[in-house]
Amino acid sequence: MRASDHLVDGVNKAWKRMRASTPPLARVSNKRVQSYRRVREQETSLLIRKIASSSPNHTNLSEAFQKVTNDVVCRIALGKKYSGGDGEGIVFGEIIDALIELLGTFSVGDYVPWLGWINRINGLDARVANVAKMYDEFLQRVIEEHREKGEGGGDGSAEDFVDVLLQFQRESEVKVEDYTIKAVIEDMFNAGTHSTSTALEWTIAELIKNPRTMKTLQTEVREIGKGKDEINEDDIEKMPYLKAAIKEGLRLHAPTPLLLPRAPTQDTKVLGYDVARGTHVMINAWAINKDPASWGDDAEEFRPERFLDSSVDLRGQHLQFIPFGAGRRGCPGITFTLAVNELALAKLVHKFDLGLPGGVRVEDLDMTEASGVSVRRKSPLVVVATPAA
């Protein structure tokens, strides 16, 4: 069994077995996310320094955000960054790029099972098998390296996830296979990298396109950050408008517009329709998050104020707002995504005024969406970052 096999499973025996054999400490809990605060603060500081070094020239924020989220996840999950130009860094980059491409590829067999043979003819099955093999072998090498050097061999302030999982494997009364460890790590990358950077990218784009909203956010962040060299995570709790802006960005641009398929465990009836046991049901989060019945006539507008006096949360308790899904198949990386994006946005707004290159007017900023594993921007977000006065 490969680690990647669980990605297409529902809540079945294999899924339950994998969850039961995963230690609570290795799940993306609030406590676990907070233990990696130092990693987030270091990597977002590097992001700000990189942007500062490019000023007053153009900065490709799409690339910068992808790098910082990859580096944070690598340090947390694997104990070190794999973004360099060495052999393993290049291999890892190729694997992630190929995985993102495949996850955004339409598979006929997923929707019409009896036409699954088409995936063999068009080469999709072979591509999936090749990427899965590369990913599996890479993670196995990481596991073996951790075994050789022992616990705590990473460069973070806490044990990385591989350390925690290997310790659990040694001590658990339940047999934990290596493929379970690899599956947990894969979940972290699938949930925590591309969707995190894409969400941040869209939020910044909306703020640039709405100068008055950006000004309100700048006022809040710079007042809290007055006299400070850098914003830290303690400061974020004093920034309700920033948190509202992040929520509004996720509402308008849900990272995954169609959630992972759900499958009822028994025959059921929904809104008068019979849904047979095991039927794959697609949930359109994109439409739900923009429904005028829930959000009013301005549902298509970027207006963070709608969340300032609202109890609506994004963790699956309010079904009119489910950018990360809900229930047992909800995204496990919610807390991680929010922690990274809130800190990166606060530091960026604290240090820079953001404009568009070449005299492009903000109202002409291209907001075209492109399909894929997440709804990313069709064109990269390129800005001119000027140090704030």
The DSSP bridge partners found for residue 80 are none
Q: Output phi, psi for 207, to 5 deg.
A: -65, -40
The answer to whether 248 and 213 are in contact (CB under 8 A) is: no
Instruction: Tell me the binding residues.
Output: 331
The answer to whether 252 and 302 are in contact (CB under 8 A) is: yes
Instruction: Tell me the binding residues for heme.
Output: 331
**Spatial separation of the C-alpha atoms in residues 159 and 162, rounded to whole Å:** 8
Determine if residue 280 is left, alpha or beta; phi over 0 gives left, psi from -120 to 50 gives alpha, anything else beta. beta
- Cα–Cα separations (whole angstroms), residue 141 to 49, 88, 148, 162, 334: 32, 10, 11, 12, 28
Which residue, 174, 190, 161, is CA-closest to 3? Answer: 190
- Cα–Cα separations (whole angstroms), residue 181 to 96, 132, 175, 240: 18, 15, 12, 37
**Spatial separation of the C-alpha atoms in residues 384 and 90, rounded to whole Å:** 29
